[in-house]
């Protein structure tokens, strides 16, 4: 019953034109949320040698990451992502992502 309740919003909905619409999942970021995430990333300063300069690996205009090295991905997943999503995602999604980040940090 609980699982069915959570999946109700993920069904295709018919539109007036005869096509179908799939509503976004709870973890999908809106344009405003992506802007907020990239602004947060742009403002983060890390110690020299800790990781690449964050401003160099993101494109705020295109909302994309570029030229990521494996260590940069590691730092993003284990340290920065929990800070970035703090006020963006719903509580249930944020808790799961933060647990995943903590797990990634623990195994490394």
What residue segments make up the domains of the chain, in order of their start? Answer: 26-107
The residue with tokens 């344009």 is 31
37 closest CA partner among 54, 53, 21: 54
Stated pTM of the model: 0.70
Token digits for 95?
């808790």
Token digits for 67?
């030229």
Out of 38-42, 50-54, 59-63, 99-103, the most confident range is 99-103
Range of lowest pLDDT (8-17, 20-29, 31-40, 96-105): 8-17
- The secondary element (H helix, E strand) that includes residue 38 is helix 31-43
CB–CB of 84/36 below 8 Å? no
Token digits for 32?
């405003």
């Amino acid at each position: 019953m609980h699982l069915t309740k959570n999946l109700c919003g993920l069904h295709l909905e018919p539109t007036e034109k005869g096509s179908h619409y799939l509503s976004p999942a709870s973890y999908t970021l809106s344009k405003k949320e992506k802007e907020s995430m990239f602004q947060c990333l742009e403002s983060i300063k890390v110690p020299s040698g800790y990781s690449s300069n964050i401003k160099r690996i993101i494109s705020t205009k295109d909302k994309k990451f570029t030229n990521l090295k494996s260590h940069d991905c590691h730092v993003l997943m284990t340290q920065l992502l929990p800070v970035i999503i703090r006020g963006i995602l719903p509580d249930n999604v944020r808790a799961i992502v933060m647990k995943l980040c903590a797990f990634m940090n623990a195994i490394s």
